[in-house]
Amino acid sequence: MMEPELNRSHTIKTIGGLVAVLVGFLILPLFLPLGWLSLVNEMIILALAACGLNLMLGYAGMVSFGPAGLYAVGAYTTALFLYYTEIPFGLALIAGPVSAAIASVIIGWFCVRLTHVYFALLTLAFAQIIHTIVFEWYGFTKGDDGIVDIRVPAFLESITNYYYFSLIIVCICLALMWRIVNSPFGKTLQALRENPERTEFIGINVRLYQLSAFVLSGFFLGAAGSLFCGFNKNVFPNYAHWMKSTEMLVVCLLGGVYNFLGPVVGSIVYILLDKVITSFTQYWPLVLGLVVLALLLFLKGGIAGFISEKVSAGRASWGKGERNV
Amino acid sequence: MFSVKGITKSFGGLLAVNGVTFHLENGEVSSIIGPNGAGKTTLFNLLTGHIKPDSGEILFKDQDITGLPPHRICRKGIGRSFQRTNIFPRLSVFDNVQVAVMSWERKCRNIFLRARNMNQKETDEILDGVGLGDKKKMTAGLLAHGDQRLLEIGIALGSYPELLLLDEPTAGMSPEESNKTVELIQRLARGRDLTLLFIEHDMNVVFGISEQVRVMHLGSIIAEGSPEEIRANDEVQRIYLAEED
């Protein structure tokens, strides 16, 4: 721990910074054209999904190749409820993350029995299974036509209102995740990431904790899917596609997996890059490939990791450094 | 308090541990020696649940713990350190021990409390005990090798074990560090009323602090006794001490 005074000033600075960012997001609709606002909305929902994935990826050290599967479970649950039933929008929205969490219990139960690349491949396989079900079960999910024109309450019809709605949900979810990663459970996950074998010998049931991380992660991925379903008013099988999973992984790596806000930074940069580059060239995937290459070779901690390293190095040169993972 | 009865494990055709039987009294400090490949670490892995024995029985405080998974065995009060340094490298030194203490107090499932200042007193006490109190803010992976070995013991102490198994606690240490560690182990055994069993190669360490020495060779215990008796044992001289030169 640092000296209390310095600690407090550091906390005040952090809170001040967060408030400034939040105010920034709040006033965006005042001057941003609707097209761009839409993009920012996509950005914050992607940030939520990536942060959800990062609970498992960055904190627990479990590399999943199939986060999009759970994201799609959330999106489709909400969409199907709104399409086939008359239940209120709010309930359909909550049903998304809940069913994604339930799906995670089942999928995770199998996946945590494996480690490393086998774990990753099994998560990919499950996501592809979800994709196939959604794609082929035409009578129920409308296959590749997707479910379109999903009803949302009148006050959420406007892009600006839905943006505020997303912002509130994303902030609540991020606050919950912040709480989780700083809890004893969150610390235990980090220990697990560092050394699963040792964690077992301090009395931790490794698989149970990995499964818990998987389910929490699935819950937030599902929440992001649900939220996006309401925003887009359409859902398609490609929500579960491995390309979508890759996108989430790249966002995490781009921002930095060892930093809580890394995936948020990652999603902002990713969406902006996407927007800017696709306006110049149709070869966006090529540029993306180069970005990933540069990232893995030169910026392993991601953008947020790089910044926080510089900041803590700066602080350390004042003789008061503390490194926080 | 701890009895091992006829524990046996083979890998393929190789009989790694062959009918090992011994008994530890409460508060006993003893060691297992033996040439490389004698099956010492395999024995430790059997005792702590890392691998399951083919046959035999392990009793701890009159409870059968044979075949339980490591996390359950740890909860019963058996801690261990590892031959190769086994810590949480990217966490701080403090966090390394704190997480063990939180786990012991069954707080790890809590997802809403703040962990930051939890069990600070207990963690500081353990870190001071192993002499890492002034390095607690450091990232564990950046500690010097000797300090990482001490941290390893600190993590094991975080589970407040009654029986502590130490796998070559002084491996790779300089003679000076080695002496410090021996002192530490002696202090621990006395202060915390621990039963200690360690594997060791350094004969000064073994004969310096053990009350009982057991010699393993080709998976079996071939001799057992006080350090003096073991020194005088002809067979041990032949198969083990001779190898040292």
Q: Which amino acid is at A301?
A: G
Any A CB within 8 A of B82 CB:
yes
B39/B8 Cα distance (integer angstroms): 11
- Tokens standing for A249? 């992984």
Residue in chain B lying closest to A189 (CA)? B108
Rounded distance, CA B8 to CA A107, Å?
37
**Nearest to A38, CA basis, from A28, A47, A48:** A28
pLDDT at A322: 42
- Of A183, A204, A205, which is closest to B111 when you measure between CB atoms? A183
Distance from CA of B118 to the nearest CA of A (A): 8
Q: Would the pLDDT of B172 be above 50?
A: yes
Q: Give chain B's domains with CATH numbers.
A: 1-77+162-245 (3.40.50.300), 87-160 (no CATH)
A202 vs B182, residue with greater confidence: A202
Check if the beta carbon of residue A26 is closer than 8 Å to that of residue A34. Answer: no
Beta-bridged to residue B14, according to DSSP, are: B11
pLDDT of residue A37: 94
**Strands annotated E in chain A:** none
B108/A322 CB distance under 8 A: no
Which of A182, A197, A202 is opposite residue B158, by nearest beta carbon? A202
User: Rounded CA gap, A255 and A295, in Å?
Assistant: 10
d(CA A220, CA A225): 9
* pLDDT tens for the 325 residues of chain A, in order: 444 555 677 788 888 888 999 999 999 999 999 999 999 999 999 999 999 999 999 999 999 999 999 999 999 999 999 999 999 999 999 999 999 999 999 999 999 999 889 999 999 999 999 999 999 999 999 999 999 999 899 999 999 999 999 999 999 999 999 999 999 999 999 999 999 999 999 999 999 999 999 999 999 999 999 999 999 999 999 999 999 999 999 999 999 999 999 999 999 999 998 888 888 888 888 888 888 888 888 888 888 888 888 887 776 665 444 444 4
pLDDT of residue B2: 93
**Cα distance between residue B95 and residue B230, in whole Å:** 41
Mean pLDDT of chain B: 89
Distance from CA of B88 to the nearest CA of A (A): 5
pLDDT given for residue B241 in this prediction: 56
Beta carbon pairs, A and B, within 8 Å: 109
Selected residue of B44, B88, B114 to mutate for chain A interface (largest A Cβ count, 10 A)? B88
* Cα–Cα nearest to B85, from B43, B136, B126, B145: B145
> Residue B244: what pLDDT?
53
What ipTM was reported for this prediction?
Answer: 0.89
